[in-house]
Amino acid sequence: MSREAENLLRQLAAEGVSAWYEASRPEELDSAVLSSLLSAGFQSVRLPPGTARSLVQLACDLLLPAFVRSGGGLGQVSVPVDPRHAEEAGALLKGARALHRTMGRRNLAVRIPMTAAGVEVLADCLAEGIGVDATSVFSTDRYAEVLDAYMEGMERALVAGRWLSRIPAVTTVPVGVFDDDVDARLERLDVPQPSEAAGQALARCLYRLREKRLTQDWWRVLRAGGALPPRLLWAGAGRRSVGDLVGWHTAHALTVPELEDAARREELRGDTLLNAGREGCDVLRLLEHLGARVGESVAALETAELDRLQSDWNLRTAPAAPACGGTARSPGP
């Protein structure tokens, strides 16, 4: 990585924004590459399906000191549960349990698509002390469900006597995919685009929703039990502007090319999410008024993203390997 890229990682950390290394393909990783990236300033990792178990465990071990120092806020490793079971709560939970048990690392976060079944399993996993990366969230409605499940799961974990800081929780929002879909809709309509990108507007709305939830009385109980605010993780933002999405307890998932590109063309300008929720929601309403049909876009993206995850799983995992939730013979997540 370039010196400029490492400097951008340091700037993000200074703003309270963690940088997650987004690995696109398992074959691009080995222990030396992973160690180098983490030494350069990446604070957490999202690994693709097909990553060898030994490499997942190494990533967890390398990041465990950061996980401990930050009280569970950093140093997480996200790996996917078999997305082919995304609509089956029982199978999804079984897979999450098996993956958590097989990897045997407390800073592991199982990556679960937020279908209706996924939201249900999110609460169950947290209640059992299993960290979760709740992924494929494209709307405030879905994120509200995620936050409800988060509160429920953490409450059950607290009642069970678990120390809540040891249960990683993050919500991944593919803002880049949302941007692309809305832009394509506006181009077909031949109407001018708002000055604020759709993904940035969505991020501001979600950030505002989270901040409202964190003012409620029950959150104070969870916080006293060690819970950290659930982190919002922006995926694909590097294609637009990392600096547009900077806020307390958020994160960016970045490939090395995305990080290098961002380091060459932009500078951070402080917090861009705090007290900006109303403006973001106004932009989404404007997009609807222009005919972009944001609700229709969300439904289409949820389906398309699940199809992509399932296709990627099939491509990256060996045909003979059992799905997550199977036996320990599987070579990776």
DSSP state string for 69-133: HTTTSS--EEEE--GGGTT-HHHHHHHHHHHHHHH--TTEEEEEE-SHHHHHHHHHHHHTT-EEE
Q: Which residues contact 242 (CB under 8 A, 6 or more apart)?
A: 8, 12, 252, 254, 262, 266, 268
Q: Residue 20: pLDDT above 50?
A: yes
Instruction: Count H helices and E strands in the chain, helices first.
Output: 12, 8
Q: Residue 205: pLDDT above 70?
A: yes
Crossing angle of helices 31-40 and 3-14, in 10° steps, is: 60
Contact 178, 255 (CB under 8 A): no
Per residue in 225-270, pLDDT tens? 999 999 999 999 877 789 999 999 999 999 999 999 999 987 788 9
Q: Residue 332: pLDDT above 70?
A: no
CA distance linking residue 183 with residue 304, whole number of Å: 16
What pLDDT, on the 0 to 100 scale, is given for residue 24? 85
Report the pLDDT averaged over residues 277-306: 94
CA distance linking residue 296 with residue 281, whole number of Å: 17
Q: Residue 326: pLDDT above 60?
A: no
Report the pLDDT averaged over residues 209-224: 94
Contact 172, 252 (CB under 8 A): no
CB neighbour burial string for 83-112, b if at least 16 within 10 angstroms, e if fewer: bbbbeebebbbbbbbbbbebbebbbbbbbb
The mean predicted confidence, pLDDT, of the chain is: 91
Find the radius of gyration of the CA atoms of the chain. Answer: 19
Q: Which residues contact 99 (CB under 8 A, 6 or more apart)?
A: 79, 81, 108, 110, 324, 325, 333
CA distance linking residue 13 with residue 9, whole number of Å: 6
Report the pLDDT averaged over residues 8-28: 92
Distances (CA, A) of 241 to 8, 47, 250, 268, 273: 12, 23, 15, 9, 13
CA distance linking residue 58 with residue 77, whole number of Å: 10
What's the whole-model pTM score? 0.92
Per residue in 150-203, pLDDT tens? 999 999 999 999 999 999 999 999 999 999 999 999 999 988 778 789 999 999
Contact 145, 117 (CB under 8 A): no
Contact 127, 153 (CB under 8 A): yes
Supply the DSSP symbol for 160: T
Q: Locate tokens 């690995």: which residue?
A: 23
What pLDDT, on the 0 to 100 scale, is given for residue 318? 60
Report the pLDDT averaged over residues 317-328: 47
Contact 277, 207 (CB under 8 A): yes
Greatest alpha-carbon pair distance for the chain in Å reads 57
Per residue in 25-59, pLDDT tens? 888 888 899 899 999 999 999 999 999 999 999 99
128 vs 191 pLDDT, higher one: 128
| SS3 (DSSP) at 48 | coil
